[in-house]
Amino acid sequence: MHASSSCLFFTDDEGRVLQLRSSVPEHSQLWQWPGGNTDEENESPFETAVRECREETGITFTGRPKVLAVFWKPTGTWPVAKLDFVFDGGHLTTNDIDRIQLDPDEHDEVAVKSLDEWAKVMDTRSWERLAAVHHSQQTGTAAYVELRPDAL
């Protein structure tokens, strides 16, 4: 059972958001940030985000933990209530982005887009989460969101 997941949220030098497109059949075409479930015993949320980012992109994040958002998901969608942590990955240069090496078992595309561009390719709820995290990165104020079943 996974009670938490964590990811890193990156933007480029122009403030556009980096996301990865899932190649996993049950999540096909879903855009997400580098991250995943806490798999290892006693692994902290930040350690999870750094490990998953390295596995999924080849990026070895060396920054300090800064929480941008926490999402709470009740039981129903998951067997247990779940917390999702979003940490600030900072800004990537064009060179950093060009060096990303995707794990084809998890993702098949990397893209960097403005919020307006992401709004055109994401469902409303996912885009609202993205906008909340982007706002947190810009303002330094963390977001907390409860993803209730009626909102899923």
45-59 pLDDT, tens digit each: 999 999 999 999 999
Contact between 3 and 38 under an 8 Å Cβ cutoff? The reply is yes
Q: What pLDDT does 152 receive?
A: 45
Q: Scanning the structure block, which residue is given the tokens 């692994």?
A: 43
96-110 pLDDT, tens digit each: 999 999 999 999 999
CATH for 27: 3.90.79.10
pTM of the model: 0.91
Closest-CA residue to 131 (of 37, 15, 34): 15
Pairing relationship of beta strands 35-37 and 4-12 according to DSSP bridges: antiparallel
- The domain of 13 spans 4-151
Which residues are paired to 36 by β-bridges? 6
59-95 pLDDT, tens digit each: 999 999 999 999 988 876 556 788 999 999 999 999 9
Q: How many CB atoms sit inside 10 A of residue 143's CB?
A: 19
The number of domains in the chain is 1
